[in-house]
Structure 1
Amino acid sequence: MQQNMNKYIIPLYISLLLSITGFQAMAQTNSWVRINLLGYQTFNSKVAVWCSKEQTAITGFTIIEVASNKTVFTGKAGKPFGAYGPFTQTYRLNFSAFKKPGRYVIKAGTATSPEFNIGADVYKGAADFCLRYMRQQRSGFNPFLKDSCHTHDGYTLYGPMPDSTHIDVSGGWHDASDYLQYVTTSANATWHLLAAYRDFPHAFTDEHQENGLPGKNGRADVLDEARWGLNWLLKMHPRKDWLFNQIADDRDHHGMRLPKEDSFYGRGFERPVYFCTSTPQGFGKNKNRSTGLASTAGKFASAFALGATLFKDTLLKSRALSAWALGVEKPGVCQTAPGRSPYFYEEDNYTDDMELAGASIYNMDPAHEEYLNAAYKYAKGETITPWLGADTARHYQWYPFINLGHNELALQLQGRERYEITGYYKQGIDRVWQKAKQNAFYRGIPFIWCSNNLTTSFATQCFFYRVGLTNDYTYYELEQACFDWLLGCNPWGTSMVYGLPAWGDTPTDPHSAFTHIGHYPIDGGLVDGPVYGNIYKNLIGITLNEPDEYAAFQSDLVVYHDDYGDYSTNEPTMDGTATLIYLLAAKDNDRQEVMTQPTRRLVSASALKNTLSHGAITRGAEVSQKLALVFTGDEYGDGAAYIARLLQQQKVKASFFFTGRFYRNAANKAVIQQLKQQGQYLGPHSDQHLLYCDWTKRDSLLVTKKQFSQDLDNNYAAMQAYGISKKQAPYFLPPFEWYNDTIAAWTKQKGLQLVNFTPGTYSNADYTTPDMKNYRNSASILDSIINYEQQNISGLNGFILLVHVGTQAERTDKFYYQLPRLINYLRQQKYTLTTINELLK
Structure 2
Amino acid sequence: MLTLAGLGAHGAASADDIKLNQLGFLPGAAKVAVVPDGVARDFAVVDADSGKVVFHGALGPATSSPDSGDTVRLASFAPLNTPGKYLLRVTGLPDSSPFEISPSAYQAVSAAALKAFYFNRASTALDARYAGIYARAAGHPDTQVLIHASAASATRPAGTVIASPKGWYDAGDYNKYIVNSGIATYTLLAAYEDFPAFFQRQDLNIPESGNGRPDILNEVWWNLEWMLTMQDPADGGVYHKLTNLHFDGIVMPNQATQPRYVVQKTTAAALDFSAVMATASRVYAPFDKALSARMLTAAQSAWRWAQAHPREYYQQPKDVSTGEYGDKDVSDEFAWAAAELYITTGDDAYYQAMRAPEQATSVPSWGEVRGLAWMSLARHRKQLSAAADQRLITNRVEVLAQQLADGWKKSPYGIPMQTHDFDWGSSGLALNQAMVLLHGYRLTGKRDYLDAAQAGLDYVLGRNAVETSFVTGYGARSTQHPHHRPSQADGIAAPVPGFLAGGPQPGQQDAQHCPKPYPSRLPAKSYLDHECSYASNEVAINWNAPLVYVAAGLQVLTPR
Specify if TM > 0.5.
yes
Residue 404 of structure 1 is matched in structure 2 by 372
Residue 43 of structure 2 is matched in structure 1 by 61
Name which of 320, 323, 330 aligns with 1:350.
330
Which residue identity lines up with residue 546 of structure 2 in the other structure?
Answer: T
**Residues in 2 aligned to 1:438 and 1:338: alpha-carbon distance in whole angstroms:** 45
**Residues in 1 aligned to 2:193 and 2:157: alpha-carbon distance in whole angstroms:** 41
Matching of residues 343-742 of structure 1 within 5 Å: 344-366=324-346, 368-375=347-354, 377=355, 379-385=356-362, 398-400=367-369, 403-413=371-381, 417-441=389-413, 442=415, 443-444=417-418, 446-467=421-442, 469-501=443-475, 504-520=476-492, 521-532=495-506, 535-536=507-508, 538-539=509-510, 541-544=512-515, 551=519, 555=522, 558-591=525-558
What SS is found at the alignment partner of 1:45? coil
**Residues in 2 aligned to 1:555 and 1:208: alpha-carbon distance in whole angstroms:** 38
Name which of 212, 218, 230 aligns with 1:224.
218
- Please state if 1:275 is matched with 2:258: no
- How far off is 1:473 after superposition? 2.6
Residue 295 of structure 2 is matched in structure 1 by 316
- How far off is 1:215 after superposition? 5.5
- Please state if 1:74 is matched with 2:56: yes
What SS is found at the alignment partner of 1:260? helix
RMSD of aligned alpha carbons: 3.1
Instruction: Give the TM-score, by structure 1 length.
Output: 0.57
Distance 1:183 1:381, change over 3 A: farther
**Residues in 2 aligned to 1:258 and 1:60: alpha-carbon distance in whole angstroms:** 51
**Residues in 2 aligned to 1:592 and 1:240: alpha-carbon distance in whole angstroms:** 51
Residue 134 of structure 1 is matched in structure 2 by 117
Distance 1:227 1:214, change over 3 A: closer
> Could you tell which deviates more after superposition, 92-101 or 341-350?
341-350
- Please state if 1:327 is matched with 2:306: yes
Matching of residues 39-118 of structure 1 within 5 Å: 39-52=24-37, 56-111=38-93, 112-118=95-101
- How far off is 1:578 after superposition? 2.0
**Residues in 2 aligned to 1:555 and 1:170: alpha-carbon distance in whole angstroms:** 42
Where does structure 1 lack aligned partners over 5 or more consecutive residues? Answer: 1-25, 279-289, 389-395, 594-841
Distance 1:529 1:472, change over 3 A: same
* Larger RCO (CA under 8 A, 6+ residues apart): 2
Instruction: Give the TM-score, by structure 2 length.
Output: 0.84
**Residues in 1 aligned to 2:484 and 2:322: alpha-carbon distance in whole angstroms:** 21
- Please state if 1:196 is matched with 2:191: yes
Distance 1:274 1:459, change over 3 A: same
- How far off is 1:450 after superposition? 1.0
Which residue identity lines up with residue 134 of structure 1 in the other structure?
Answer: F
Deviation by residue 1:155-199 (Cα, 9 ceiling, x = unmatched): 113232311111111211111111111111223222222222232
**Residues in 2 aligned to 1:333 and 1:311: alpha-carbon distance in whole angstroms:** 34
Distance 1:466 1:347, change over 3 A: farther
- How far off is 1:337 after superposition? 3.6
Distance 1:29 1:188, change over 3 A: closer
Which residue identity lines up with residue 164 of structure 2 in the other structure?
Answer: V
Distance 1:449 1:37, change over 3 A: same
Which residue identity lines up with residue 51 of structure 1 in the other structure?
Answer: P
What SS is found at the alignment partner of 1:141? coil
Distance 1:323 1:308, change over 3 A: farther
Distance 1:382 1:451, change over 3 A: farther
Contact 2:231 2:239 in 1 (8 A): no
**Residues in 1 aligned to 2:333 and 2:141: alpha-carbon distance in whole angstroms:** 29
**Residues in 1 aligned to 2:353 and 2:59: alpha-carbon distance in whole angstroms:** 50
**Residues in 2 aligned to 1:435 and 1:215: alpha-carbon distance in whole angstroms:** 41
**Residues in 2 aligned to 1:260 and 1:466: alpha-carbon distance in whole angstroms:** 45
Q: Aligned residues, how many?
A: 523
Distance 1:194 1:336, change over 3 A: farther
- How far off is 1:451 after superposition? 1.1
What SS is found at the alignment partner of 2:250? coil
What SS is found at the alignment partner of 1:531? coil
- How far off is 1:424 after superposition? 2.0
Distance 1:506 1:338, change over 3 A: farther
> Could you tell which deviates more after superposition, 170-179 or 297-306?
297-306
Contact 2:265 2:312 in 1 (8 A): no
Deviation by residue 1:438-468 (Cα, 9 ceiling, x = unmatched): 432233251111111111111101101111x
**Residues in 1 aligned to 2:31 and 2:143: alpha-carbon distance in whole angstroms:** 51
Which residue identity lines up with residue 133 of structure 1 in the other structure?
Answer: A
Where does structure 2 lack aligned partners over 5 or more consecutive residues? Answer: 1-11, 127-134
Distance 1:223 1:295, change over 3 A: closer
Residue 162 of structure 1 is matched in structure 2 by 157
Distance 1:526 1:30, change over 3 A: closer
Distance 1:562 1:30, change over 3 A: closer
Contact 1:336 1:345 in 2 (8 A): no
**Residues in 2 aligned to 1:224 and 1:484: alpha-carbon distance in whole angstroms:** 29
Contact 1:346 1:397 in 2 (8 A): no
Contact 2:343 2:377 in 1 (8 A): no
Contact 2:501 2:538 in 1 (8 A): yes
Which residue identity lines up with residue 369 of structure 1 in the other structure?
Answer: D
Using the aligned pairs only, state the percent identity. 24
- Please state if 1:35 is matched with 2:20: yes
**Residues in 1 aligned to 2:523 and 2:193: alpha-carbon distance in whole angstroms:** 43
Residue 5 of structure 2 is matched in structure 1 by none
Contact 1:304 1:319 in 2 (8 A): no
**Residues in 2 aligned to 1:413 and 1:110: alpha-carbon distance in whole angstroms:** 53
In terms of Rg, which structure is larger? 1
Which residue identity lines up with residue 436 of structure 2 in the other structure?
Answer: Q
Residue 3 of structure 2 is matched in structure 1 by none
- How far off is 1:499 after superposition? 0.9
- How far off is 1:238 after superposition? 4.7
Deviation by residue 1:783-802 (Cα, 9 ceiling, x = unmatched): xxxxxxxxxxxxxxxxxxxx
**Residues in 1 aligned to 2:524 and 2:31: alpha-carbon distance in whole angstroms:** 26
**Residues in 1 aligned to 2:368 and 2:399: alpha-carbon distance in whole angstroms:** 18
Distance 1:300 1:146, change over 3 A: same
- How far off is 1:130 after superposition? 1.6
> Could you tell which deviates more after superposition, 200-209 or 253-262?
200-209
- How far off is 1:139 after superposition? 1.0
Contact 1:246 1:336 in 2 (8 A): no
**Residues in 2 aligned to 1:507 and 1:556: alpha-carbon distance in whole angstroms:** 18
Residue 647 of structure 1 is matched in structure 2 by none
Which residue identity lines up with residue 384 of structure 1 in the other structure?
Answer: T
